[in-house]
Amino acid sequence: MAHPTVRFLGGVREIGGNKVVVEDGPDRILIDFGPSFSPVWEQYWGQYLQPRSASPVKDYLEFGLLPRVEGLYSEDALAGSDLRPTEPEFQGVFVSHAHLDHAGHLKLVDPRIPVYLSEGTGSLLDAIEESTFTKYGEHPWHRMPYGTPVQIGHLEVVPLPVDHSIPGASGFLIRTREGTIVYTGDYRQHGPRADETHRFFEAAAAERPVALITEGTRAGPDTRKQFTEEGVRAGVDHLLAKSNQLALVTSYPRDLDRFSTLYQAARAAGRSLVVSLRTAYLLQAAHRSFPTIPMPVPGESEGVHVYRRPKSRYFPWERPFLDDAVDAPWVKQHGAELLLSLEMSHFAELIDLRPDPGSPYIHSMSEPFSEDDVDDQVLHHWLDHFGLSFHQYHASGHASGPELESIVKSVRPATVYPVHTEHPEAFQGWAARTVSPELGTRYPIGH
């Protein structure tokens, strides 16, 4: 009998873009399918220059930014390309969490191929589709209860929760006829659900896995300042306690734990949290899927306001919030009682808000990777223009290098395959065998 194999079609020496194929005999699944933001992407494409919607696969393939595989893409997505539409050759795509770099290419997948995800990830993808231009395509969607195995021929996939900077994140135990492959997705153990991550790796170790496919975002050199989620809370508490001006914050729009942290901090300081229309929609649409996260829910929670930017036309999903929404003059008047969440793409609102010089601005996102980061320069130009004081408080969605090492050692896989990292070499010596995967190579699994 041929051994089961794993094959890496993305996420190799890059952070994000995981595309992992697991095969056992006639059975084949894909795990995660998001776009690559590798240097190659940045060489040819950008915000202003995107692959054409009429021929997406053709345009990505031109620069090797999608795998050349048959039986995966939809007929529409293949238009114009030299890959021919065929019958599906994958029995399912398993999505670990709702971040773009793991789910963003689902719309290119053949609509006959089912997509498997957690309840929480499903509700987030629904809310994102409704409130943005991101689409995931038509598929049979299967929302998997945690801990219940899904049988795909000879493969058995057990989804378990892990903590990441978006709720609903999963890791998978993939049982093959030659042993278990552990796929971590993205994870951390310093967030509000650290216990889920610990339990996942306990379950992983108990399988005596033949392979561990782990993310390694923070492996290798990492000098950026990092807090735990509790540390973010303490920092924001401290800042709000000593300020009597409007406080502003920018965080990742889908980091619902962070909105929870910011909301608790605002309330503790006697302030209200003001969120954008899009955040309001996401919180309202998704909060029922995450009953254990104390999220601010517009219309339900005390001390939450929705900020209405002036626009010529509002989307249907925005309209239910408009009547009770607040505007720039109101925020200006009540500044000292508010913590205003403002995405960088909405910074032009500062022209109307005109915070007093010295007002605190909290950057609750990753620090830039490089000093010549253009967005970072623009951000600081705006802060300088209005005389705002900059404060960095962020907890990463990813485990640190030392945490990765102790996790790999505790799971004791026969082989570790680092993905979602620029430094796979940092994993050397942590497991019996370390393989820095090569794009497209099939690695046999088992003894």
In this complex, which beta carbon is closest to Zn ion, that of residue 165 or of residue 250?
Answer: 165
381 φ/ψ angles, rounded to the nearest 5 degrees: -60, -45
Applying CB under 5 A, the span of 112-120, 186-194, 276-284, 402-410 interacting with Zn ion comes to 186-194
Residues 356-395 binding Zn ion (CB under 5 A) are none
Judged by CB under 5 A, the stretch of 94-102, 103-111, 121-129, 267-275 that binds Zn ion is 94-102
Provide the token pair at 61. 């393939």
Burial string for 2-17 (b: 16+ CB within 10 Å, else e) reads: ebbbbbbbbbbbbbbb
34 or 355: CB nearest Zn ion: 34
Of 10 and 355, CB closest to Zn ion: 10
Interface mask toward Zn ion for 3-42; x: CB under 5 A: -------------x--------------------------
Name the packing angle between helices 277-286 and 256-268 (round to 10°).
110
Q: Which is nearer to Zn ion, 101 or 318 (CB)?
A: 101
Q: Are strands 92-94 and 115-118 parallel, antiparallel or unpaired?
A: parallel
Query: DSSP string of 223-249?
Result: -S----HHHHHHHHHHHHHT--S-EEE
Q: Which two tokens stand for residue 270?
A: 């006697």
Report 306-335 residues binding Zn ion (CB under 5 A). Answer: none
Contact residue for Zn ion among 23, 59, 186, 229 (CB under 5 A): 186
Tell me which residue of 185, 210, 206, 211 sits closest to 197, measured CA to CA.
Answer: 185
Residues whose CB is less than 8 angstroms from the CB of residue 367 and which lie 6 or more positions away in sequence, other chains included: 224, 225, 392, 394
* Contact call for residues 215 and 188 (beta carbons, < 8 A): no
- Hey, which residues between 188 and 207 contact Zn ion (CB under 5 A)? none
Residue tagged 């909060």 (tokens): 287
Note whether 121 and 141 are within 8 A (CB): no
- The size of the interface with Zn ion (CB under 5 A), counted in residues, is 3
**Identity of the residue, 16 or 296, whose beta carbon is nearer to Zn ion in the bound complex:** 16
Residues 114-143 that bind Zn ion (CB under 5 A): none
Compare residues 16 and 298 and give the one whose CB is closer to Zn ion.
16
Nearer to Zn ion, 12 or 340 (CB): 12
- State in angstroms the smallest separation of the CB of 87 from Zn ion: 31
- Judged by CB under 5 A, the stretch of 96-104, 174-182, 253-261, 314-322 that binds Zn ion is 96-104
> Nearest approach, Cβ of 17 to Zn ion (angstroms)?
8
Place of tokens 């997505």: 77
Between residues 327 and 422, which has the closer beta carbon with respect to Zn ion?
A: 422
Residue 257 as a binder of Zn ion (CB under 5 A): the answer is no
The answer for residues whose C-beta is within 8 angstroms of residue 143's C-beta and 6 or more apart is 117, 118, 119, 122
Yes or no: say if 176 and 51 are a contact pair by the CB < 8 Å rule: no
Residue nearer to Zn ion on the CB measure, 165 or 272: 165
Least distance to Zn ion from the beta carbon of 125, Å?
15
> Residues 59, 101, 229, 257: which binds Zn ion (CB under 5 A)?
101
> Distance (Å, rounded) from C-alpha 75 to C-alpha 110?
7
Shortest separation between residue 372's beta carbon and Zn ion, angstroms: 24
What is the nearest approach in angstroms of Zn ion to the Cβ of residue 15?
Answer: 7
Handedness of CA 198, 103, 43, 380 (dihedral sign): negative
Give the chain's end-to-end CA distance (angstroms, integer).
12
Q: How far is the CB of 186 from Zn ion (least distance, A)?
A: 4
Residues that bind Zn ion (CB under 5 A): 16, 101, 186
